[in-house]
Amino acid sequence: MASEASPYRLLGTRIPYIEGPLKVSGRAEYTDDLTRPNLLVGRLLRSPWPHARLRSIDVSAARKMPGVAAVLTGEKYPTTFGVLPITHDETALAVGKTRYIGDILAAVAASDELSAERALAAIQVDAEVLPEYSDPHVGLGAVAEPIHSRGLNGSNIQKEVHQHFGDVDAAFAEAAHTVRVRGTFAGVTHAFTEPLVTMAEATPDGRLTVWSATQVPHYLHRALSEVLGIPLHRIRVLKPEVGGGFGGKSDPLPHEIVCAALALETGRPVKMLLDREDVFLTNHGRHPTQNDLRVAADAEGHLLAYDLSAVIDGGAWSSFGTVTTYYNGVLAMGPYRVPNFRYHGRRVYTTKPPSGAMRAHGGTNVRYTIETALDELAEKLGMSPFELRMKNALPPNSTTITQFRITSTSFLACLKAARERSGFDEKFRKLPYGRGIGLGCGFYISGSNSPIHFTPKMPQCTVHLKADMDGGIAVHCMQADIGQGSNTLLAAIVAEVLGVQLERVHVVPVDSDVSPVDIGSYSSRVTFMMGNAARQASERLLALLLAAAHELTGYPAKQLRVREERYEVAHRPEVGVSYLEALHKAMEHSGALQASGAYTSPPMGGTHKGARAGTAPAYSFAAYVAEASVDAETGFFAVEKVWAAFDCGRPLNRLAVEGQIEGSIHMGLGQFMGESMNYRGSRLLNPSLLEYKIPTPQQMPEVEVLLVGADDPEGPFGAKEAGEGPLVAILPAVGNALYDAVGVRFYDLPVTPDKVWKGIERRRAEGTPWKGT
């Protein structure tokens, strides 16, 4: 266990969110809570066809309807965009073709919702219906009408990855044991509680202001500039409070651009609030995936090779898909040493809502596939699932065969804590039929090393500080707090370094006019990158304050130490000055103090094609044990308890880290137990929070959080990520617990009760008893 005794005053304690009082009182302002004088309502006409060529869109009648200020169609803004610069294939509104049921065909700005909807109904669309491609396997070969022209060789393949490290065939030839599994995963979606919403206003000074529920204000800023043809400096992006994201607000989204375009058309402010069905159709959730995995091991259980191939259902757009395709392979490279690895990944366009990045992006489905296969392997070997993993754990300061630089890892400590606290050895295969215990492990990037930038040499994050006469410290940074607590962490780091009370630090809401660029809340990068930038900025500001303290005390800065609201001489504590005295002294030279800090990740990774994918300055590790009970007659199961051992380095805000782990377990359980985007063909059947089955409070297990990470050498104050890695381990932990309970492997997610029941029936029919039943 990490020692509770912390060298820090604030960091490492339980720090309630600084904006908590505003949230619990309804005073925190989300985008839909804002308004502007003369505000118009924006609404979207969505495609009723999964795939069609647009012949004409007649908006003349709609334009004449009462209350209608503007009607927009795609041809005005044909510039393509997308979150990755290499795969710009989206347009704000459909141009020429529509590629899924939900694609935006036209948009209306009107005085009120009713007028807007009546105008939408008056729009006439003439289209030639094209073949729909709902099954990614169909799109692997040449198709009659490829969804995008960029599909490879007339197919619908958006991205194909071939990677081979070592010699996989040789490894299998000499293997003592092999396991082969196929994992299939339905698509799941973020289902944040705050719907997607944007407000935009174009003003006579030639500027465009956009407020949006986004995780990536900077990427939105760039997409607006590119598509609307307005220089970046004439666009101002503001991020109000955001009601959850989980990756679903991490692409620049078409409605955001359309809303801004309507503001430009009308010269009036426009707000576009999406209905819940719209949010489901916008999706960008976790990719439906089929993973075929072979694992080779020697007689002692040393892993020899993974041979993995994947078919990934991308939906209508690229989004983060190229990254997904790589991640679904290379995130297999931890937490174990795998000397030989082959991967064939294909992401295929389909005529369905686009898939994208969702919490533990690219790492969740492959992790389930691996961890359940390892459970099978351990059984074949007659070895404890723990022993197998301990034997293969990547050591600290090692390199994977894909050239990932592993610096800190406390994976073994995670295993030890989960094993001991759960009493695993006393329970495994020993609980009565219907009750089981399982282990699942995890590994995730702590910030992608590859910023999605114009020029990769720019820092991934910059933090500005300003301290003025009032003694307050304003913090500017474009990092996006979407509920994960990054504002609080930012303030706490500044307060920690400067030695001031937390209430002195004001995190200024994101505003591209004043916030220096941080590339946003995704890839679990914020704590690591913003934390380092904030630390650097704070240390630079501290240097100014200590220089002033030196002037006042006569002792050199080196001999001064930081105490709460005070800088004093280390060996003569009675000599010192208050923070305010130092601040005001320093201001005699320069006025308000300013300091800036930035973070750029160090060079890393190999030189092969795709070598950057999966590289990160650090990685988190997890070992979860779940205990579950199954009602064998109905297939209903309950996860009773989870022991969640996690290595996030040093947890800087224990309250927030626990919250991330508990929330991740809930979200991961959702994907395991019942969440799925259900389709008939290309049509989403359950675009509602009623029919999309997020687990209820009664389904949430007791969670024991075990934070066992050692300090990371490069993380801020030793910290690594805790926002996404905590999700991946829960799914296989429960899957393996169900196997222990009833002797059935579940490789097709979600594992709804009917599938459990069927599995139990099948095993019964085969006449192979389990635990005597």
Tell me: does residue 352 bind other proteins (CB under 8 A). Answer: no
Residue 440 sits at the vertex; the CA angle it makes with 438 and 445, to the nearest 5 degrees, is 170
Q: Is 65 in the site for other proteins (CB under 8 A)?
A: no
349-357, 584-592, 684-692, 709-717 -> range binding other proteins (CB under 8 A): 684-692
Structure token pair of residue 125:
């669309």
- The pattern of x and - marking residues 124 through 163 that bind other proteins according to CB under 8 A reads ----------------------------------------
Residues between 590 and 619 that touch other proteins (CB under 8 A): none
C-alpha to C-alpha distance for 483 and 33, rounded to whole angstroms: 17
Does residue 48 belong to the site contacting other proteins (CB under 8 A)? yes
- Measured CA to CA, the distance from residue 586 to residue 582 in angstroms comes to 6
Instruction: Tell me whether residue 23 or residue 148 sits nearer to other proteins (CB atom).
Output: 23
Nearest to 562 by CA among 551, 577, 548: 577
- Contact letters (x/-) for other proteins, 535-554, by CB under 8 A? --------------------
772 touches 433 (CB < 8 A): yes
Among 56, 124, 501, 688, binds other proteins (CB under 8 A): 688
Type of residue at 491 = A
Output the six-digit token pair for 726. 């905590």
φ, ψ dihedrals at 415, nearest 5°: -60, -45
Figure out which of the listed residues 703, 729, 731, 749 binds other proteins, where binding follows CB under 8 A: 703
Asked if 633 is part of the footprint of other proteins (rule: CB under 8 A), the reply reads yes
Q: Minimal distance in Å, beta carbon 633 to other proteins?
A: 5
Nearer to other proteins, 392 or 678 (CB): 678
Instruction: Please identify, using beta-carbon distances, which residue of 281 and 332 lies nearer to other proteins.
Output: 281
* Nearest distance from C-beta of residue 44 to other proteins, angstroms: 10
Would you state the structure tokens that stand for residue 310, as one six-digit string? 């994947």
Residue 441 beta carbon to other proteins: minimum distance, rounded to whole angstroms: 20
User: Between residues 19 and 265, which has the closer beta carbon with respect to other proteins?
Assistant: 19
Helices (H), 35-85: 60-63
211 touching other proteins, by CB under 8 A: no
CB of 619 to other proteins, least distance (A): 23
| Strand pairing category for 289-297 and 177-185 | antiparallel
Of the pair 425, 761, the CB lying nearest other proteins is at: 761
Among 114, 129, 469, 543, binds other proteins (CB under 8 A): 114
Residue 343 main-chain phi, psi, to 5 deg: -140, 130
Nearest distance from residue 482's CB to other proteins, in Å? 6
- Nearer to other proteins by Cβ, of 16 and 713: the residue is 16
DSSP assignment of 597-645: EEE-PPP-S-SSTTTTTT--S-EEEEEEEEEEEE-TTT--EEEEEEEEE
Q: Find the shortest distance in angstroms from Cβ 684 to other proteins.
A: 9
CB of 173: closest distance to other proteins in angstroms? 43
From the list 713, 696, 706, the residue with the least C-alpha distance to 729 is 706
From 28-36, 366-374, 449-457, 710-718, span contacting other proteins (CB under 8 A): 28-36
- The runs of H, that is alpha helices, within 423-530 are 424-427, 486-498
Residue 33 contacts other proteins per CB under 8 A: yes
For residue 732, which of 387, 442, 444, 422 has the smallest C-alpha distance? 442
Q: Which stretch binds other proteins (CB under 8 A): 12-20, 128-136, 159-167, 550-558?
A: 12-20
Q: Quickly list H helices, 305-408.
A: 321-330, 364-381, 385-392
Given the rule CB under 8 A, which of 148-156, 415-423, 691-699, 707-715 is the region that contacts other proteins? Answer: 691-699
Residue 249 has which token pair? 């607000």
Stretch that binds other proteins, among 10-18, 125-133, 402-410, 706-714 (CB under 8 A): 10-18
Asked if 655 interacts with other proteins (CB under 8 A), we say yes
Q: Does 685 bind other proteins (CB under 8 A)?
A: yes
Is residue 26 close enough to count as binding other proteins by CB under 8 A?
A: yes
Please report, as residue ranges, which positions from 220 to 249 form the binding site for other proteins (by CB under 8 A). 241-246
Site string for other proteins, 744-773 (x = CB under 8 A): --------xxx--xx---------------
Contact call for residues 283 and 354 (beta carbons, < 8 A) = yes
User: How near is the Cβ of 664 to other proteins at its closest, in Å?
Assistant: 8
DSSP assigned state of 11: T
Please state, in angstroms and rounded to a whole number, the distance separating the CA atoms of residues 521 and 685. 30
Contact between 626 and other proteins per CB under 8 A: no
Q: Segment near other proteins (CB under 8 A), from 362-370, 418-426, 617-625, 631-639? A: 631-639
CA atoms of 645 and 726, how far apart (whole Å): 9
State how far the Cα of 533 lies from the Cα of 519, in Å rounded to an integer. Answer: 13
φ/ψ (deg, to 5) at 396: -60, 155
Beta strands at 619-630 and 637-647: parallel, antiparallel or unpaired:
antiparallel
Give the interface segment with other proteins, choosing from 293-301, 398-406, 526-534, 699-707 (CB under 8 A).
699-707
Shorter beta-carbon distance to other proteins: residue 373 or 749? 749
* Spatial separation of the C-alpha atoms in residues 56 and 189, rounded to whole Å: 33
Nearest residue (CB) to other proteins, 248 versus 610: 248
Binding status of residue 448 toward other proteins by CB under 8 A = no
Q: Give the residue from 76, 625, 217 showing the smallest Cα distance to 385.
A: 625
Rounded Cα distance between 111 and 121, Å, is: 16
- Which residue, 24 or 543, is less far from other proteins as judged by CB? 24
* Binding flag, residue 71, other proteins (CB under 8 A): no
Which one of 217, 252, 436, 695 is in contact with other proteins (CB under 8 A)? 695
Which x/- pattern over 370-409 shows residues binding other proteins (rule: CB under 8 A)? ----------------------------------------
Residue whose CB is less far from other proteins, 561 or 693: 693
Instruction: Round to whole Å and give the CA distance between 68 and 85.
Output: 35
In the complex, least distance from residue 195 CB atom to other proteins, rounded to whole angstroms: 7
Interactions with other proteins, residue window 477-496 (CB under 8 A):
482-485
Which token pair is 337? 């040493």
As a whole number of angstroms, the distance between CA 107 and CA 93 comes to 8
Which residue from 8, 30, 172, 747 is in contact with other proteins, where contact means CB under 8 A? 30
Strands (E), 171-218: 177-185, 197-203, 207-212
Angle separating helix axes 411-422 and 385-392, nearest 10 degrees:
170
Closest distance to other proteins from the beta carbon of 521 (Å): 11
- Among the listed residues 28, 95, 140, 230, the single contact to other proteins using CB under 8 A: 28
Q: 39: buried, middle or exposed (CB in 10 Å: 19+, 13-18, 0-12)?
A: middle
Helix or strand or coil: residue 510?
strand
Torsion sign, CA atoms 736, 742, 747, 749:
negative
Least distance from other proteins to the Cβ atom of residue 675, Å:
10
Site for other proteins in 262-321 (CB under 8 A): 273, 275-277
Query: Strand pairing of 52-58 and 124-129?
Result: antiparallel
Contacts of 761 (CB under 8 A, 6+ apart): none
- Output phi, psi for 463, to 5 deg: -125, 130
Exposure class string for 365-381: b at 16+ Cβ within 10 A, else e: bbbbbbbbbbbbbbeeb
Instruction: Report the residue from 3, 25, 149, 768 that binds other proteins according to the rule CB under 8 A.
Output: 25
Q: Which stretch binds other proteins (CB under 8 A): 23-31, 161-169, 310-318, 334-342?
A: 23-31
Q: Which of 103, 194, 265, 307 touches other proteins by CB under 8 A? A: 194
570 binds other proteins (CB under 8 A): no
The CB-of-485 to other proteins minimum distance in angstroms stands at: 7
